[in-house]
Amino acid sequence: MQEQSTFTIAVFPGDGIGSEITPITLTILDKVCEQIGIKCEYKVLDAGAAHYAEHGVSLPEDAMNIAKSADAILLACMGMPSIRYPDGREIAPQLELRETLDLYAGVRPVKTLKGLPLPLGDDRAQALDFVLIRESTEGLFASRENGKIINNERAEDTQVITRKGSERVFNFACKMAQRRKSKGYEGRVTCVDKANVLGSFYFFRQVFDEVAKPYDDIIADHIYVDAAALQLVRQPWIFDVMVTENMFGDILSDLGAGLMGGMGMAPSADIGDEHAVFQPCHGSAPDIVGQGKANPTAMFLSAAMMLDWLGDKHDVPAACEAAKRLNEAVEKAYESGELRPFEFGGSHGTDDIFNKISKLLDAS
């Protein structure tokens, strides 16, 4: 098979610090791709809260169409607390991308890097490496546009859990556990739910058991979400692949980011059968815009996730190798303990982090 050597990437800088971390991420991508003999061509697109404030639309139709036709989508951050829809919701075109492109698997890796001061002191917490997967198209988020406030006395949002939505995210999680087992991980997938209280989650767990049963080469188990939150603080190293509903995943993935030291270290992907969006877990950080304090690490790691996904999807091993080089450069940048972003109490800003990782790529 002749390898695809050029990928088209739809790029959304979005709002706030997005315009500061996106250009340097593309520079990093170009550097690592050139080393390995592949190329990314970028289509930079406007969307987000600022675009809504100026034009009355948060995600233009032409931008959505370009995103649909791209090989992958790289997004920095969207939304500003001061700019909202008339009903009070924040501008969140990233949710429109998930729903329109049917990106049902929200992948949130939790991997701690050596050399950083982390919140848990146990040596095992300094070497965490697990993945949380959230179902990203339904759950409680299904009500985000049709929730009801009744007579100013009562509000209602409806959780939606379907067999189709559950089956496909459970299959995704089980296959990920299989792949991780082949690389030396435990090969365990844990369903996180509240099946002891809500019927929708009892159904969710039943579907999980049905889907996981044929995967007899991995371990499948369950945990209630409150117990999962406790164990993520008490002994997070017990987890390998976690899979859960949309809202639970949204909350627990931030806890996972905290274990890594902060949102600036946390990459993510939203993956469907045909499309995928890669973005850092952090928001637009309006409080530090223009100060050079933004940590681009999560954006770099999200770009590495994108390269790895492109390599697997298009059978291009070189893209996976580029991802590996970028991940290794990020890890090496921090392992000495000298590089400290502002959120870790240090004084190293956007340019410092970029320059350090760029030089390590040059030397690789």
For 180-224, what is each residue's pLDDT tens digit? 999 999 999 999 999 999 999 999 999 999 999 999 999 999 999
Residues 190 and 279 in one domain: no
Residues 74 and 125 in one domain: no
Residues 94 and 44 in one domain: yes
Share of the chain above pLDDT 70, in %: 98
Residues 205 and 339 in one domain: no
Residues 125 and 234 in one domain: yes
- Domain of 304 in residue numbering reads as 1-103+266-364
The side-by-side arrangement of strands in the sheet containing 241-244 is 39-44, 6-14, 72-77, 276-280, 267-271, 105-111, 129-135, 241-244, 188-193, 219-224
Check residue 90 and give its pLDDT: 83
Cβ–Cβ under 8 Å, residues 40 and 72: no
What length is written for the chain? 364
Kindly state whether residue 62 falls inside one of the protein's structural domains: yes
Question: Considering 260, 292, 317, which residue would you say is the last residue of a domain?
Answer: 260
Residues 165 and 241 in one domain: yes
Kindly state whether residue 109 falls inside one of the protein's structural domains: no
Residues 229 and 294 in one domain: no
Check residue 153 and give its pLDDT: 83
Kindly state whether residue 110 falls inside one of the protein's structural domains: no
DSSP E strands: which ranges in the chain? 6-14, 39-44, 72-77, 105-111, 129-135, 148-150, 154-156, 188-193, 219-224, 241-244, 267-271, 276-280
Check residue 2 and give its pLDDT: 44
Question: Considering 220, 237, 260, which residue would you say is the last residue of a domain?
Answer: 260
CATH of the domain at 237: 3.40.718.10
Give the SS3 label for residue 161.
coil
Residues 256 and 271 in one domain: no
Kindly state whether residue 318 falls inside one of the protein's structural domains: yes
Kindly state whether residue 113 falls inside one of the protein's structural domains: no
Element (H, E) at 252: helix 246-260
For 111-151, what is each residue's pLDDT tens digit? 999 999 999 988 899 999 999 999 999 998 887 766 667 77
Kindly state whether residue 322 falls inside one of the protein's structural domains: yes
Model confidence band, residue 3 (pLDDT cutoffs 50, 70, 90): low
Residues 99 and 169 in one domain: no
Kindly state whether residue 180 falls inside one of the protein's structural domains: yes
Residues 39 and 146 in one domain: no
For 74-113, what is each residue's pLDDT tens digit? 999 999 988 888 877 888 888 889 989 999 999 999 999 9
Share of the chain above pLDDT 90, in %: 86
Q: Per-residue pLDDT for 1 more than 70?
A: no
Model confidence band, residue 157 (pLDDT cutoffs 50, 70, 90): confident
User: Which residues have a Cβ under 8 Å from the Cβ of 40 and sit 6 or more positions away?
Assistant: 6, 7, 8, 9, 26, 29, 30, 33
Computed from CA positions of residues 78, 83, 84, 90, in that sequence, does the dihedral angle turn out positive or negative?
positive
Check residue 147 and give its pLDDT: 67
Joined tokens for residue 264 = 């600036």
**How many domains are contained in the chain?**
2
Residues 253 and 270 in one domain: no
For 17-65, what is each residue's pLDDT tens digit? 999 999 999 999 999 999 999 999 999 999 999 999 999 999 999 999 9
For 316-332, what is each residue's pLDDT tens digit? 999 999 999 999 999 99
Kindly state whether residue 112 falls inside one of the protein's structural domains: no
Residues 252 and 123 in one domain: yes
Q: What is the pTM of this model?
A: 0.94
Question: Considering 229, 260, 291, which residue would you say is the last residue of a domain?
Answer: 260
